[in-house]
Amino acid sequence: MVAAKHVRSLSCPDCGGLIELRGMQHTRTAVCVNCCSILDAASPSLKVLSKFDDKMRVVPLIPLGSRGRFEGAPFEAIGFQQRSIYVDGGTYSWTEYLLFNPYRGFRYLTMYNGHWNYVTPMQRLPQFKTVTGRRAVWLDGRDYRHFQHAQAATTFVMGEFPWAVRVGETANCDDYVCPPYILSSETSSGEVNWSHGVYMEGQAVYDAFGIQRQPPPKYGVFANQPSPYADKAKQSWRTFTLLLVVWAALFGWFTVFRMNKVVYEGSFRFNASELGEHSLVTPVFEVPGNRSNLEVELKTDLDNNWAYFNLALLKEDGSIGYDFGREVSYYHGYNSDGSWTEGDAKDSVVLPRVEPGKYYLRIEPEMDAEASRTAAAGMAMRYDVRVVRDVPQTWLMWLALPLLLIPPVRKSIQAGAFEGARWAESDYSSGSSDSGGSEDDD
């Protein structure tokens, strides 16, 4: 822990208030918390350099002098400043806390709209590069994409600082992001300072300082805020891939391992103009296997005509039957648009869950005299009937695919919306006046 003997107490020459200096020999500027006077800590008499307007006073959420643990070491909050940028007609302010540990040096905690970053000054430079046509930097195997360029002005300070603080001090800032990390460069007076930040939840910051209150709520999406959806979307797609393997296996099984056996075939002729009973029954045929589907196919020679088939698949012992009807129609011709066709001379129906056994078909065709007036064959037709047991049907499996796709697509949309909200705040949003980023600050 930081020893108490390291705290030097002085009186403010302007208001007489107590000033405690904790930054030891590093402190170059101190700001009186009572009167907001900026004092030269290096001078024995604490010369007043300038003064902040008290109306600008901002109360820090983390009281100066508080100690918190970061990276396994205690850090003391010794300085606090508010900085502001002017972008697209609006002023955006964030706060920074200067943390000090005599063995580790300085760190910063920044907070904007409830989003916190733990920032470490860098002693080395990243490499500049281009990623997907945009400015970026590379550091420790990560690409950091340029997010925003702005001129930041110091609008309020409190506590002590290892540099000469001035009211209205400005710096050109560039942020590069690779969530949850952020690299920032600040250029002022020809000097460029790089820092590396990592996103922190407000509760983790408060816990580090032992603050019992609730941290301020988060608003919006911050530049380097980790997306809660990105990993979930990736995981969902991985799970989808596994499910797709199962789906493909089932699809193959239902396609290949079907009996698909023709159990009856017959050809008939029908003339509606003939008197007498038009219904007929087929010979009995065996429907093998387990309870499964059964396809009845009808193939006619209808030409510009239609027919209706009353059909019944009846079990020989009379215990059960499946009653259904099919309409077959086929028309064609020419008109001002060219040739046209409508319908089909053949049709089929798949009966579900037909139990095995001995069956016969009762077929009762119908044709209409008025409808047959234009048909060459009149009210007569030839038709073939084919019955197939356990036919491969895949529409249910195809139906499963979009159902399986719902969760990963939903997660991907959420992830995309999150990234959209993130980059909407950048220089690269469609509404940004600085869209495309500035190149003049390199």
Partner 1 sequence: MKNPLYTIYGMIVLALMGFAQWSGFSLAQVSEVKNIPKSVRENPGVYRSHYGWLPRWFGGK
Which residues here bind partner 1, judged by CB under 8 A? 232, 235-236, 238-240, 242-243, 246-247, 250, 254, 277, 279-281, 291-294, 304, 306, 308, 310-312, 314-316, 318-325, 327, 329, 331, 333, 335, 340, 342-343, 349-354, 360, 362, 364, 368, 370-371, 374, 390, 393-394, 396-397, 399-400, 403-404, 407-408
Q: How far is the CB of 174 from partner 1 (least distance, A)?
A: 36
**Cα 373-377-383 angle, rounded to 5 deg:** 120
Q: How far is the CB of 404 from partner 1 (least distance, A)?
A: 5
Strand partners, 121: 195
The smaller minimum CB distance to partner 1, of residues 72 and 318, is found at 318
Name residue, tokens 């089909």. 344
267 contacts 282 by C-beta, under 8 angstroms: no
The smaller minimum CB distance to partner 1, of residues 365 and 437, is found at 365
Q: How far is the CB of 272 from partner 1 (least distance, A)?
A: 13
Q: How far is the CB of 421 from partner 1 (least distance, A)?
A: 24
18 contacts 1 by C-beta, under 8 angstroms: no
Sequence-distant contacts of 178-182: CB under 8 A, at least 24 apart: 178/142, 178/143, 178/144, 178/145, 178/224, 179/224, 179/225, 179/226, 179/227, 179/422, 180/224, 180/225, 180/226, 181/142, 181/144, 181/224, 182/117, 182/144, 182/147, 182/223, 182/224
The smaller minimum CB distance to partner 1, of residues 164 and 246, is found at 246
The smaller minimum CB distance to partner 1, of residues 364 and 434, is found at 364
Q: How far is the CB of 20 from partner 1 (least distance, A)?
A: 50
Name residue, tokens 């979930």. 232
The smaller minimum CB distance to partner 1, of residues 63 and 321, is found at 321
Q: How far is the CB of 400 from partner 1 (least distance, A)?
A: 4
Q: Is residue 239 classed as helix, strand or coil in its secondary structure?
A: helix
Q: How far is the CB of 250 from partner 1 (least distance, A)?
A: 5
39 contacts 48 by C-beta, under 8 angstroms: yes
The smaller minimum CB distance to partner 1, of residues 198 and 351, is found at 351
The CA-based diameter of the chain, rounded to the nearest angstrom, is 128
The smaller minimum CB distance to partner 1, of residues 74 and 357, is found at 357
Q: Which amino acid is at 296?
A: V
Which tokens sit at 279? 């219904």
